[in-house]
Amino acid sequence: MSTIEEALRKAEQQKQIGQKIIASDDSASEPHDIQQDSHDSIEGFVANDQESFNRPVEKFDWNFLKSKGYICPESAHSKLAEEYRSIKRPLVVNAIGARKKDIQRSNLILITSSVPGEGKTFTSINLALSISAEFDKKVLLIDADVSKPAVSKVLKIKQTPGLIEYLEGEVDNLSDIILHTEIDGLRIIPAGKRHKYSTELLASNKMVSLAKELSERYADRIVIFDTPPLLATTQAEVLASMVGQVVLVIAADSTSQSLVMESVKKLENCADVVLTLLNKTKRSLDTSYYGYGKY
Ligand SMILES: Nc1ncnc2c1ncn2[C@@H]1O[C@H](COP(=O)(O)OP(=O)(O)OP(=O)(O)O)[C@@H](O)[C@H]1O
Ligand SMILES: [Mg+2]
């Protein structure tokens, strides 16, 4: 059996396991939980409504995003948008639905992969777009791939102080690094400037405190971290110990099973939930096929 066949077989098995774990929980998508969340009147991440009103709003180049295969408002019924609906559902149920109480820091979701180019940024942005498209959901997308930031590049956001400046202490208030976007429910923290000690900053107590604050004070917001590959640096592994859920993106046609297993091992003692996402397969003609599961 080839590596790819093996990976697909595994993904199929995982899909079944994942569905067993997460699918029966229809109650989580009922209005009850969601309404509780939306009762929270704190205006997300900023001091007050006036401040929020005065802030610049990032506009997206939807034609560019569409050309790169990202979900767009006008393609809400495309196959990719549908795929992301099923991809996000277990994550949202775990994050802010009925399973929230069983998972520590459940609203913090880290996206990683074994090696470069497997689709972490693609997944992070599409998940953020898909979840924030729901009228009662709020998402904070953090570019934590600070050595090779790509979120701002893809979304064509100008360079502003971000995570690094906050961790370094150059910016005091979290709200000063959060960008508002044309999507009400979507805010972004860019990576910020390059820093010689970025690994140390990501492993610092300040980062631990930030993760804690995001999980406690903003428990109804889903926070998505785009990170570097697990096997290339220690950054993703360090961050994985601070979040509740990890999505391990696997490029089905190129990443060997041994690399995937190496990554899984690194994640063993990290987040409560680790899900795999099979990306870039050729099962469907017009877009990618995603397997989904839990180790
Ligand atoms: N499912 C997909 N369908 C179409 N294009 C995809 C898909 N997944 C990834 N890509 C494309 O593949 C390329 C690599 O993806 P991406 O940048 O998301 O990978 P990455 O894991 O974030 O890489 P890096 O490790 O360099 O950060 C990009 O051009 C992206 O648009
Ligand atoms: Mg990336």
Rounded Cα gap, residues 61 and 64, in angstroms: 5
Tens digits of residue pLDDT in 75-92: 888 889 999 999 999 999
**What residues make up the domain containing 15?**
3-294
Per-residue confidence (pLDDT) for residue 58, from 0 to 100: 94
Q: Is 183 helix (H, G, I), strand (E, B) or coil?
A: coil
Confidence of residue 52 (pLDDT cuts 50, 70, 90): low
- 188 to each of 38, 77, 99, 259, how far by Cα in Å? 20, 25, 25, 31
Q: In the chain, what percentage of residues exceed pLDDT 70?
A: 77
Average pLDDT, whole number, for the chain?
82
Mutate to test the pocket of ligand 1, among 121, 248, 284 (most ligand atoms within 8 A of CB): 121
User: What's the gap in Å between 120 CA and the centre of ligand 2?
Assistant: 5
User: What's the gap in Å between 205 CA and the centre of ligand 1?
Assistant: 31
Q: At residue 86, what are phi and psi to the nearest 5 degrees?
A: -80, -25
Tell me, using a 6 A CB cutoff, whether residue 83 lines ligand 1. Answer: no
Amino acid occupying residue 147? S
Rounded Cα gap, residues 121 and 247, in angstroms: 12
- pLDDT reading at 17 higher than 70: no
- pLDDT reading at 291 higher than 80: no
Number of domains in the chain: 1
Question: Which residue pairs, CB below 8 angstroms and at least 24 apart, start in 280-286?
Answer: 280/118, 280/119, 280/251, 280/252, 280/253, 280/254, 281/8, 281/252, 281/253, 282/253, 283/8, 284/79, 286/79
8 A C-beta contact, residue 187 and residue 140: yes
Rounded Cα gap, residues 294 and 19, in angstroms: 9
Q: Is 170 helix (H, G, I), strand (E, B) or coil?
A: coil
Arithmetic mean of pLDDT, 197-221: 96
List CB contacts of 104: < 8 A, sequence separation 6 or more. 215, 244, 272
Which of 155, 131, 294 has the alpha carbon at shortest distance from 220? 131
Tell me, using a 6 A CB cutoff, whether residue 281 lines ligand 1. Answer: no
CATH at residue 279:
3.40.50.300
Atom of ligand 1 nearest to the CA of 148: 27
Structure tokens at 209: 């405190």
Arithmetic mean of pLDDT, 36-51: 38
Question: Which protein residue's CA is at the shortest distance from atom 12 of ligand 1?
Answer: 119
Atom of ligand 1 nearest to the CA of 251: 8
Per-residue confidence (pLDDT) for residue 54, from 0 to 100: 67
Per-residue confidence (pLDDT) for residue 202, from 0 to 100: 98
Q: Which residue has the higher pLDDT, 34 or 121?
A: 121
Tens digits of residue pLDDT in 234-281: 999 999 999 999 999 999 889 999 999 999 999 998 999 999 999 987
Tell me, using a 6 A CB cutoff, whether residue 106 lines ligand 1. Answer: no
User: What's the gap in Å between 51 CA and the centre of ligand 1?
Assistant: 35
Rounded Cα gap, residues 49 and 212, in angstroms: 24
Structure tokens at 79: 């196959």
- pLDDT reading at 46 higher than 50: no
Amino acid occupying residue 210? L
User: What's the gap in Å between 154 CA and the centre of ligand 1?
Assistant: 11
Per-residue confidence (pLDDT) for residue 38, from 0 to 100: 30
Arithmetic mean of pLDDT, 132-160: 96
What residues pair up with 181 in beta bridges, in sequence order? Answer: 58
Tell me, using a 6 A CB cutoff, whether residue 245 lines ligand 1. Answer: no
Of 3-17, 27-41, 150-164, 252-266, the least confident: 27-41
